[in-house]
Amino acid sequence: MDLSLTPTDRADSAAGTPVMKVVLAQPRGFCAGVERAIEIVERALVKFGPPIYVRHEIVHNRHVVEDLRARGAVFVDEIAEVPDGAITVFSAHGVARKVQTDAADRALPVIDATCPLVAKVHSEGRRYAGQGREIVLIGHAGHAEVEGTIGQIDGKVYLVQTVEDVAALDVADPDKLSYITQTTLSVDDTRGIIAALVDRFPGIVGPDVRDICYATQNRQEAVRHLAELVDVILVVGSRNSSNSNRLREIGAELGRPSYLIDDASHLDPSWFEGVRSVGLTAGASAPEVLVKGVIDGLRKFGPVEIDTLAGTPEDVRFKLPAEVSDA
């Protein structure tokens, strides 16, 4: 446990101002795939110099993207926007095979920052397709990872987001069906949909639940623990971050007012009227400096006492690509 009061907190408390307890989720913030992706861009900037072109946002966090942009990273939506010969990085979410082909056709020097867990889903999907199976992808329509995964698989891919979507599926052969999942969904997020798939298509095959992203599951479990202890939950993360949005939703589902904020500037004093305890976490693409900034922002409302959950330790680290391992 990390229990602390600053000298200012102690002075305010002694003066009779109520202390707000802030409980930090553990784990929170960056996962190994996000750390790897950001480090790849940072090392590429050092080794090759700016500009470095990144296809799509490297991770879904506005502050991270703006910081890297200020250092010389250029974020583009399409490979066609990358100048000839420019160093090109694929984001952590992965890309469709066509994007890879377009880059290869132009002989662009590519560094692939796709999260290894996302790459594993691509591999599973291609393996199932190679067995002659149609694929059911459990994920969010329009998400960069979902678009990349669909584009990595030859053959039919059905996207389902809800149990109701499963009921509406019209497949070619119910006995030649498989499923894969978006990595930013947890075991809990997918359990009901997988159960519906198995109930409707008993012959369907899919990966072991242990293949689902450990970081997503761990962060959701930490929020569930927070909800047992606090009055309000704050989630640091960007609006386009799937896993950050889900953390806020879980807090709300468990009956706690829950807010998704980019940073301390989005704190609303009305959220904390009569509140004695606040749970604080961060999505997998949100840096710890933003969490510290939110704590400082909360101190503007009164003295703050910090407590940290024990949580699930994470010591995973993914290997860097050869192109930047020596930078």
If you search the block for the tokens 């991770």, which residue do you land on? Answer: 59
Give the Cα separation of 96 and 140 in Å (integer).
Answer: 16
Burial (Cβ within 10 Å: 0-12, 13-18, ≥19) of residue 115: buried
326 token code pair: 């020596």
261 token code pair: 């904020």
Give the Cα separation of 65 and 57 in Å (integer).
Answer: 7
Q: Which of 57, 145, 221, 323 is catalytic?
A: 145
Residue 100 · residue 55 · CB < 8 Å: no
Residue 30 · residue 288 · CB < 8 Å: yes
Whether 221 is catalytic: no
Beta-bridge mates of residue 180: 137
Residue 207 · residue 124 · CB < 8 Å: yes
Question: In sequence order, what E strands does the chain have?
Answer: 20-24, 52-55, 73-76, 88-90, 110-112, 134-138, 157-160, 177-181, 232-236, 258-261, 277-282, 304-308
Q: Tell how strand 304-308 and strand 258-261 pair up.
A: unpaired
Instruction: Give the catalytic positions in this structure.
Output: 145
